[in-house]
A and B are shown apart, each in its own frame.
Chain A
Amino acid sequence: MTAGLNRLSRERQHFFSERDYMDSMKKIYHFISTMKTGLMLLVLLGLAAAMGRVIFPDSFSHAILFKMLLLLLLINMTCCTINRIIWFKSVFIYKRRKGFLKQFGILLLHAGIVLIMIGGVIFSCYGGSEQIQIVKHETKDISHVIKTNQVKPISMHLDDFKIEFNDDGSASQYYSFLTLLEDGQTKEKAVISVNHPLNCGGVKAYQMSFGYKVKVKHINSEGMETEDLFNEGDVLKIPGTERVVKIFRYIPNFDPAHGMTSITMRSDNPRIIFSVYENNNLLGVGAVEFGERVEIDNNVFAVFTGVEPYTVLCVKSDPGLPMVLSGGVMFMLGVCLALLTSHSKKAVRK
């Protein structure tokens, strides 16, 4: 008898604890899914973004707290959207009432935001993006950017880089002539420019920037000639002398009145700005034309023979992009239906 009562008491306890648990879960779900919580999260997100942009401009969007805030907003928006779908079905499924378009628009725009955010999460988990620099005639491996089950290595070869100019010498467009290679074999040839990225089998490449490497021929005291490529800012050490040459900058259109600044990007009057040092003491600064022979020390010469362009591309794979795009379209359609159709008071959701 006592044993039976004890068992009954244990079962009742278990039943109540399960019910308490369900009640708590319902309360948590209710709290997470309310509009009030969503608005609070939006305010927090706005504050965090505005303050973060000013205080930590480069890193605030990578902070764990900021990501947590976005995740909470995603959960809230997802729950809100599910609630809204249930309500929408119960009100509009059997009868098309007034306000259908408006409420459908509200549903679409919330669902669109959820899709955009999920697309963002997919990119951060499975996507990748990297800026790569390729000098003309160079090949760079990009396999590590594409986080898929790609077995064959993928690389990019820069065939050429060109700038198109306006009449005033300003840049009109930048072109990278590329060959996409799979396992060393040509897969596709493409020309990419700003606003016209390459899109090939999940790989996207965007024209981001460019620059020049400087070709320098140096002749040591024994008359031996060597030619190398240097970055702007590199230091050239020539055997047989204590003096070093700093290749400061390539100026495509030089004018002494503008100093180190090029008048335009078009190479109308190209110069290389360089400086010579001995034991860290500056001996002089010069601006020379291509092919001009500069005596660095007794019988030691440097000749700046030309420049080789390089392109900077952003290579990206984003499996979440189709979802983001669908979300964007849904969001736009939803916004137009919800806010630009006439207001109906009959089917306003409580």
Chain B
Amino acid sequence: MMMALIDEIIYAVLAVYAFGSVLYFRGARTGQKKVFQAAFIMAITGVVLNLLVLIIRTIIAGRLPLSNGAEFLLLFTWITVVFYLILQKKIQYKGAGGLVLLMAALLILAGAVLMKEQFGTAMPLMPALKSPWLCVHVLTAALAYAGFALAAGLALWCVWGKSQAIGNSIIYSIVASGFAMLSLSIVFGAIWAEQAWGTYWSWDPKETWALVTWIIYALYLHLHKKMESQERQASIMVIAGFVFVLFTFFGVNYLLPGLHSYGVVLNNLNLFG
């Protein structure tokens, strides 16, 4: 019953984010204040509904929603939109709202298509996931991914050359915070892996691609000073980084299975999926 309700709310979240995106785009084109206000209300509604799904899943499963791809996607999308709304309020910036909400809607859509069975069920935790490190590892990863998503949305808006483009220093600050969270997530994950698998680094597909993503953003942070006069190139690098983030999340889960593929495979008696 509750699980069926989750499905309904997820589609509502998708619709609200998509509609909010359209309103933000329209507001950016016409500059009408009322349209922006309507878009802001839609974004708030989406955030509330998204949070509601996370709360219901927490109640049903009796734990924080951090243990599978669908839960992670819902959390990271929610944080992305929350970050955007904070940014909008803090610096009175409304520019990239259309792109950020569009990304949020696409992420929810991808989850609804690719992870439909995970949205509607709450399985007990498998032994490998029963660790206090799960919470900090996944939370920091979700914060990092959300930061990179927001930065990519703002950078895409800059590359697009739309009015009220945000300064590169704000994108830099968001990427730097996302990078710090990704670094923490990788180290927490390594400490956990050492306890669970006996090795802190095993070149598992997820680890490898997380490292590749980390390297892309490390390059951006090192070269940022040199790219101050080339805002476009810097923005393209931020967008490229987010493409790697998406591949690390979706591509690795579906194309390169490894220790991080937490599926239930009976008769394959390896304890880690």
Contacts and interface: CB of A to CB of B under 8 A. Distances in A.
Interface of A: 35, 39, 42-43, 45-46, 49-50, 53-54, 57, 60-61, 109, 120, 129, 166-168, 170-174, 193-197, 204, 206-211, 249, 251, 260-265, 314, 316, 321, 324-325, 328, 331-332, 335-336, 338-340, 343, 348
Contacts of A209: 269-271
A178 to B, nearest CB: 15
Contacts of B176: 339-340
Nearest to A54: B256
Nearest to A199: B195
A324 B200 contact: yes
A302 B47 CA distance: 64
Contacts of A195: 127-128, 130-131, 192, 195-196
Nearest to A109: B183
Contact of B126 (A120, A170, A262, A263): A170
B20 to A, nearest CB: 30
A335 B267 CA distance: 43
Contacts of B126: 170-171
A171 B184 contact: no
A50 B212 contact: yes
B254 interface: no
A144 B130 CA distance: 31
A173 B218 contact: no
B179 A249 contact: no
Nearest to A327: B187
Interface string B185-196: 001001110111
A194 B219 contact: no
11 contacts: A49-B203, A50-B208, A166-B124, A168-B124, A170-B123, A174-B271, A193-B127, A194-B196, A314-B199, A316-B198, A328-B190
Interface centre among A168, A195, A331, A348 (most CB of B within 10 A): A195
B117 to A, nearest CB: 15
A45 B215 contact: yes
B212 A49 contact: yes
Contacts of A196: 195
Contacts of B127: 171-174, 193-195
A98 to B, nearest CB: 17
A194 B271 contact: yes
Given A53-B203, A194-B127, A43 B197 contact: no
Contacts of B196: 194-195, 206
B124 A172 contact: yes
A268 to B, nearest CB: 13
Contact of A336 (B123, B173, B180): B180
B69 interface: no
Contacts of B195: 195-197, 206
Given A335-B183, A335-B184, 15 more contacts: A39-B223, A43-B215, A46-B215, A49-B208, A53-B208, A120-B201, A194-B127, A194-B130, A195-B196, A196-B195, A208-B271, A331-B183, A331-B187, A336-B180, A340-B176
Nearest to A38: B222
B44 interface: no
Contacts of B225: 348
B205 interface: yes
Given A193-B127, A204-B198, A336-B180, A61 B267 contact: no
Contacts of A328: 187, 190-191
B2 interface: no
A49 B211 CA distance: 9
B199 A208 contact: no
A196 B196 CA distance: 7
Nearest to A209: B270
Contact of B219 (A42, A170, A324, A343): A42
A193 B177 CA distance: 36
Contact of B256 (A53, A109, A129, A338): A53
A211 B267 CA distance: 9
Interface string B159-192: 0000000000000010011011001100100111
A266 to B, nearest CB: 11
